[in-house]
Structure 1
Amino acid sequence: MVCEPKDTPDSRAPMNHPSAITPPPVHEDMVIALQKRRLHQILRAIVAAFLVACALSAFKGVWLTTAFEFGAVLLLLYALRLNQQDQLSRATGVMVTTLVLVLSGLMAMDEGLHDEAVLAFPGLLVFASMFSSRRLFLALLSLVLALFAAVYALGAGGVLTFAPQPQTIGRLVLLAVILLVTALFVWLLAGDLRRAMRQLETDKRALIDSHARIEVLAHRESLTHLPNRALAKDRLEQLISLSRRNQTMAAVMFLDLDNFKTVNDSLGHAAGDQLLCQVAQRLQECVRDSDTVARLAGDEFLLLLGDMADEEAIAATATKVMQRLGTVFNVNGLDIMATASLGVAVYPRDGVDMDMLLKNADLAMYRAKDAGRNAFRFFDPAMNESVVEHLHMASGLRAALGNGELRVHYQPQFDLRSGRIVGAEALLRWKHPNLGFIPPNKFIPVAERTGLINDVGAWVLETACREAQEWRTQGLGDLVVAVNVSPIQFRRDDIEREVGNALERCALPPSAIELELTESLLVADAQHVSAVLQRLRVLGVKFAIDDFGTGYSNLGYLQRFAVQRLKIDQSFVRNMGTSAHDEGIVRAIIEMAHCLQLEVVAEGIEDAVMLSKLQAFGCEFGQGFYWSPALPAAEFTAFVQKHHAATAA
Structure 2
Amino acid sequence: MRPGGVADLLELRALAAIPLLSSDGPLGLVLCGHPEPRTRWRPGTRELLSQLALEGTVVVDNARLRAVERYDATHDALTGLLNRKAFLDALESQIGHAKRSGSTIAVLLLDLDRFKEVNDYLGHLHGDALLVDVAARLQSSLRQEDSLARLGGDEFALMLTTGATRSGAEVVAAKIAASLDAAFEVGGHTLHVDASVGVALYPDHALDATGLLQRADTAMYTAKGSGMGSAVYDCSVEGRAAEALGLLGELRRALQGTRELRLHYQPKIDLRTGHVSGVEALVRWAHPRHGLLGPDRFVPLAEETGLVRTLTSFVVPEALAQVRSWQELGIDLRVAVNISARDVSDKELPAKVAQWLDNEGVEGRSLVVEVTERTVMDDRSHAAGALESLPVDEIKIDRQFLCLGRSRRSVIRSIIALGHDLDMRVVAEGVETQEHAEWLARMGCDEAQGYHFSRPLPAVELERWIASAPDEPGWLNVAARD
Question: For the superposition of Structure 1 and Structure 2, which TM-score range results when normalised by the shorter chain?
Answer: 0.7 to 0.9
Report what 1:380 is aligned to. 234
Identify which range, 243-252 or 400-409, moves more after superposition.
Answer: 243-252
- Aligned-partner Cα distance in 2 for 1:337–1:430: 34
Partner SS state of residue 460, structure 1: helix
Contact 2:265 2:280 in 1 (8 A): yes
CA apart distance, 1:435: 0.4
CA apart distance, 1:188: 5.1
- Aligned-partner Cα distance in 1 for 2:280–2:364: 16
CA apart distance, 1:353: 2.1
- Aligned-partner Cα distance in 1 for 2:99–2:57: 46
557, 570, 575: which one pairs with 2:399?
Answer: 570
- Aligned-partner Cα distance in 2 for 1:634–1:417: 26
330, 353, 357: which one pairs with 2:208?
Answer: 353
- Aligned-partner Cα distance in 2 for 1:410–1:309: 52
1:392 and 2:246 correspond: yes
1:296 and 2:296 correspond: no
CA apart distance, 1:268: 5.3
1:483 and 2:344 correspond: no
391, 415, 426: which one pairs with 1:600?
Answer: 426
CA apart distance, 1:440: 0.6
1:286 and 2:143 correspond: yes
| 1:410 to 1:222, Cα distance in 2 relative to 1, 3 A | closer
Contact 1:286 1:317 in 2 (8 A): no
1:248 and 2:74 correspond: no
Partner SS state of residue 525, structure 1: helix
| 1:272 to 1:201, Cα distance in 2 relative to 1, 3 A | same
Partner amino acid, structure 2, of 1:616: R
Partner amino acid, structure 1, of 2:440: L
Report what 1:435 is aligned to. 290
Partner SS state of residue 161, structure 2: strand
| 1:340 to 1:19, Cα distance in 2 relative to 1, 3 A | farther
Report what 2:450 is aligned to. 624
Deviations 1:466-514 (A, max 9, x none): 22222222233x2222222223223323322332222222222322222
- 1:499-514 matches, within 5 Å, as 499-514=353-368
| 1:223 to 1:270, Cα distance in 2 relative to 1, 3 A | closer
| 1:394 to 1:596, Cα distance in 2 relative to 1, 3 A | same
- Aligned-partner Cα distance in 1 for 2:152–2:108: 15
Partner amino acid, structure 2, of 1:282: S
Contact 2:78 2:128 in 1 (8 A): no
- 1:111-150 matches, within 5 Å, as none
CA apart distance, 1:347: 1.2
CA apart distance, 1:225: 4.0
Higher share in strand: 2
Determine what percentage of the aligned residue pairs are the same residue.
Answer: 33
Report what 2:384 is aligned to. 526
- Aligned-partner Cα distance in 2 for 1:418–1:571: 25
| 1:360 to 1:625, Cα distance in 2 relative to 1, 3 A | same
1:403 and 2:258 correspond: yes
Report what 2:19 is aligned to. none
CA apart distance, 1:369: 4.4
- 1:201-280 matches, within 5 Å, as 201-222=56-77, 224-256=79-111, 272=130, 275-276=133-134, 278-279=136-137
Report what 2:52 is aligned to. 197
| 1:340 to 1:475, Cα distance in 2 relative to 1, 3 A | closer
| 1:259 to 1:279, Cα distance in 2 relative to 1, 3 A | farther
Deviations 1:417-466 (A, max 9, x none): 22222222111111101100112112111112222222221222112112
Contact 2:138 2:179 in 1 (8 A): no
Partner SS state of residue 394, structure 1: helix
Q: TM-score, normalised by structure 2?
A: 0.77
| 1:393 to 1:647, Cα distance in 2 relative to 1, 3 A | same
Partner SS state of residue 403, structure 1: coil
Report what 1:585 is aligned to. 411
Report what 1:28 is aligned to. none
Q: RCO greater where, 1 or 2, for CA within 8 Å and sep 6 or more?
A: 2
Contact 1:593 1:600 in 2 (8 A): yes
Contact 1:424 1:479 in 2 (8 A): yes
Contact 2:425 2:446 in 1 (8 A): yes
591, 597, 610: which one pairs with 2:436?
Answer: 610
1:515 and 2:397 correspond: no
Partner amino acid, structure 2, of 1:472: Q
Partner amino acid, structure 2, of 1:212: A
| 1:202 to 1:627, Cα distance in 2 relative to 1, 3 A | closer
- Aligned-partner Cα distance in 2 for 1:446–1:235: 34
- Aligned-partner Cα distance in 2 for 1:400–1:281: 44
Identify which range, 585-594 or 419-428, moves more after superposition.
Answer: 585-594
- Aligned-partner Cα distance in 2 for 1:371–1:396: 22
- Aligned-partner Cα distance in 2 for 1:501–1:330: 36
- Aligned-partner Cα distance in 2 for 1:262–1:400: 26
- 1:413-492 matches, within 5 Å, as 413-476=268-331, 478-492=332-346
| 1:504 to 1:327, Cα distance in 2 relative to 1, 3 A | closer
Larger Rg: 1
Partner amino acid, structure 2, of 1:519: E
Partner amino acid, structure 2, of 1:359: Q
Partner amino acid, structure 2, of 1:518: T
CA apart distance, 1:248: 2.2
Partner amino acid, structure 2, of 1:639: W
Partner amino acid, structure 2, of 1:595: D
- Aligned-partner Cα distance in 1 for 2:347–2:181: 35
Partner amino acid, structure 1, of 2:368: E
Unaligned runs of 5+ in 2: 1-21, 28-40, 475-482
| 1:464 to 1:331, Cα distance in 2 relative to 1, 3 A | closer
- Aligned-partner Cα distance in 1 for 2:173–2:449: 46
Contact 1:236 1:354 in 2 (8 A): yes
- Aligned-partner Cα distance in 2 for 1:331–1:468: 43
Partner SS state of residue 335, structure 2: strand
Deviations 1:93-134 (A, max 9, x none): xxxxxxxxxxxxxxxxxxxxxxxxxxxxxxxxxxxxxxxxxx
Contact 1:223 1:277 in 2 (8 A): no
Contact 2:130 2:184 in 1 (8 A): no
Partner SS state of residue 286, structure 1: coil
Partner SS state of residue 469, structure 2: helix
Contact 2:74 2:85 in 1 (8 A): yes
Report what 1:633 is aligned to. 459
Q: TM-score, normalised by structure 1?
A: 0.59
- Aligned-partner Cα distance in 2 for 1:396–1:416: 41
Partner SS state of residue 422, structure 1: strand
Root-mean-square deviation (CA, aligned residues, Å) is 3.7
| 1:303 to 1:274, Cα distance in 2 relative to 1, 3 A | closer
- Aligned-partner Cα distance in 1 for 2:181–2:439: 45
What is the aligned residue count? 430
CA apart distance, 1:252: 1.1
Partner amino acid, structure 1, of 2:433: D
